[in-house]
Structure 1
Amino acid sequence: MIEGISAVTLGTHEMPRAVRFYGALGFEVLHDGEGSSLTSFRAGASFLNLIAQPAERRWSWWGRVIFYVADVDALYDRALAAGYQPATVPRDAEWGERFFHLIDPDGHELSFARPLLPVSVQ
């Protein structure tokens, strides 16, 4: 049985820029950082890793990573204050979450969400 996701690893062409982006959103650097080829951030009980890739390595849309956060609107405001332009504004979805999307500097789609009602495990 799958118990959860330990980590998601995203490629970046410019580690310092990517580390600053995620740091501005409140991700805590656990290992390495701007001068490294691999950086790990805490994402709740899981991890977000960034791995440096050569400029000729390209990727296209592959999906999105969805992070649950304590306050969707506060994180949206934090992204705006840091100079980032989210792809959507926060909204309540018919599936029971409040969310917004943001594209990172390397083109990875991120979603920040919060359940509108407590999540029940069945």
Structure 2
Amino acid sequence: MIEGISAVTLGTHEMPRAVRFYRTLGFEVLHGGEDWSFTSFRAGTSYLNLITQPTERRWSWWGRVIFYVADVDALYDCALAAGYQPATVPRDAEWGERFFHLIDPDGHELSFARPLLLASGQ
């Protein structure tokens, strides 16, 4: 039985830019950093890894990584204040989450979400 996701690893062409992006959003560096070819961040009880890839290596849309956060709207405001342009504004979804999407500097789609509280009596 699968118990959870340990880590997601994303490619980057510019580690310094990618590390700054994720730090700005509140990810904590556990290993590596701007001058390394591999960096690991804490993502709750899991990890987000970045690995430097050659500039000729390209990727296309492959899906999205969804991170649960304490406050979707506060993180959205943080992203805007840092000059990032989220792909969507925060909204409540019919499947019971509040979320917004943001594309990282290497084109990876991220979603930041929080489960909505059930209405009383449900």
TM-score bin (small chain): over 0.9
RMSD: 0.7
1:48 — aligned with what?
A: 48
Q: Kindly report structure 1 stretches of 4+ aligned residues shifted beyond 6 Å.
A: none
Alignment correspondent of 1:75: 75
Q: Which one-letter code corresponds to 2:86 in the other structure?
A: P
1:12 offset after TM fit, Å?
0.1
| Runs of 5+ consecutive residues of structure 1 not aligned to the other structure | none
SS at match of 2:40: strand
Q: Unpaired segments of 5 or more residues in structure 2?
A: none
User: TM-score of the superposition, structure 2-length normalised?
Assistant: 0.96
Matched letter for residue 80 of structure 2: L
Aligned to 2:8: 8
Number of aligned residue pairs: give it.
Answer: 118
Question: Which residue of structure 2 lines up, in the alignment, with residue 114 of structure 1?
Answer: 114
Residues 53-64 of structure 1 aligned to structure 2 (within 5 Å): 53-64=53-64
The CA deviation string for residues 7-46 of structure 1, in whole angstroms up to 9 with x for no partner, is 0000000000000000000000000100000000000000
* Cα separation, 2, equivalents of 1:32 and 1:97: 33
Quote the Cα distance in structure 2 between the aligned partners of 1:94 and 1:3.
Answer: 26
Q: CA deviation at 1:98?
A: 0.1
CA distance in 1, matches of 2:92, 2:4: 25
How far off its partner does 1:117 sit? 2.1
